[in-house]
Amino acid sequence: MIQVDESDPVGEVEPSFPYRNVSIQRGVDMKELYDLQSELGRGKFGTVYRCREKSSGLQLAAKFVATPKREDRRNVEREIEIMRLLQHPRLIQLYDAYDNGKAMCVVLELIEGGELFERVICDDFILTEKSCTVFMRQICEGIEFIHKQNILHLDMKPENILCLTRTGNRIKIIDFGLARKYDPQKKLQVLFGTPEFVAPEIVNFDQISFETDMWSVGVICYVLLSGLSPFMGATDIETMANVTIAKYDFDDEVFNEISEDAKDFIQKLLLKDKEARLNANQCLKHKWLSEKAVNTTLSKVKLKRYVIKKRWIKAVNTIIALRRMGAKLDFDSV
Ligand code: PIT
């Protein structure tokens, strides 16, 4: 059985990633320098493969993004520019970048443990409130650093939280594809994440800020503890309607086993008034994250259901996307 070690929750010494000052290389074929291996993931962001740097033998991840439009290239350039500022152990690290005109390749730190939610629903993982605090603390540490660099992530959701290894408890935040520099002069609006996790100010096209990420942290925490999604409606429109009025509750019976400190933590993030929400630093000082949390085992029945449903939605979306690209169906890749 795998359980979080409470005395030293993030465990073993963390190998530090070789931080590099990355600039985009043009006219160089990355395949000359790297061996491409298995596919790690696929999404709106492109396709990510495991790869190996030939010169050093280092195992890394390579994200490929087709850039048919000028805007596609600008988006990847912006992401790289932002990632250059984010050297921190709780955040995926940038290693190298290539542009061959048709596609761009971003070489990243390899994170081998898979998505956090996939990990915690495994039968050999005991989910307790304490293990949830270990994960939430690391998420807040990562967000605290991102915000200190004056950057907003804007796409915080469970699939963007990966486990470093299959057995340890360290996590890393990935996907800076929607991230933006915060400029109070410029009115940042419209950027859209996933309805289930976006804050009311996104749905309302109001000014967004650091607090916008903190709302999503609150939603992630609610789902991790309960397996229920606080604002989920039958349709995206319904979900967004629930988000705009910040309508949620702890009425389900699963919350009977959740501590008041945990509920207080969530309540201080899921506030319609963004100024009233805790920032990442205040989260780390909140009683639930700073004192010993209760070690009761949580039921994973609902969380399993939630993760399995997401897997299906993702598989269906992949099929739709592949068909649109005119690809022949190859069920191994779905
Ligand atoms: C890994 C392992 C893995 C997935 C990823 C990286 C994906 C990273 C990623 C990074 C981005 C992005 C989308 C996905 O926009 O299983 O090492 O910047």
Indicate the DSSP class of residue 253.
G
Containing 103, the helix (H) or strand (E) segment is strand 103-109
Q: What is the pTM of this model?
A: 0.92
Shared domain for 181 and 274, answered yes or no, is yes
Residue 214 domain boundaries: 116-302
Q: Does any domain span residue 44?
A: yes
Containing 206, the helix (H) or strand (E) segment is none
Shared domain for 217 and 293, answered yes or no, is yes
Out of 94, 109, 124, pick the residue that ends a domain: 109
Average pLDDT over residues 302-309: 97
Average pLDDT, the chain: 92
pLDDT digits (tens, 9 = 90+) for 217-268: 999 999 999 999 999 999 999 999 999 999 899 999 999 999 999 999 999 9
Q: How far is the CA of 48 from the centre of ligand 1 (A)?
A: 6
Protein residue closest via CA to atom 2 of ligand 1: 111
CATH no. for residue 33?
3.30.200.20
Looking at residue 294, what is its pLDDT? 86
pLDDT over 80 (residue 15): no
The annotated binding site for ATP is made up of: 63
How long is the chain? 334
Q: Does any domain span residue 137?
A: yes
Shared domain for 90 and 139, answered yes or no, is no
Shared domain for 76 and 135, answered yes or no, is no
Shared domain for 128 and 190, answered yes or no, is yes
Shared domain for 51 and 150, answered yes or no, is no
> What is the number of the ligand 1 atom nearest to the C-alpha of 110?
17
> What is the number of the ligand 1 atom nearest to the C-alpha of 106?
18
Band (pLDDT 50/70/90 cuts) for residue 14 is: confident
Looking at residue 13, what is its pLDDT? 66
Domains: count for the chain: 2
* Residues 36/110, Cβ–Cβ less than 8 Å: no
Shared domain for 104 and 124, answered yes or no, is no
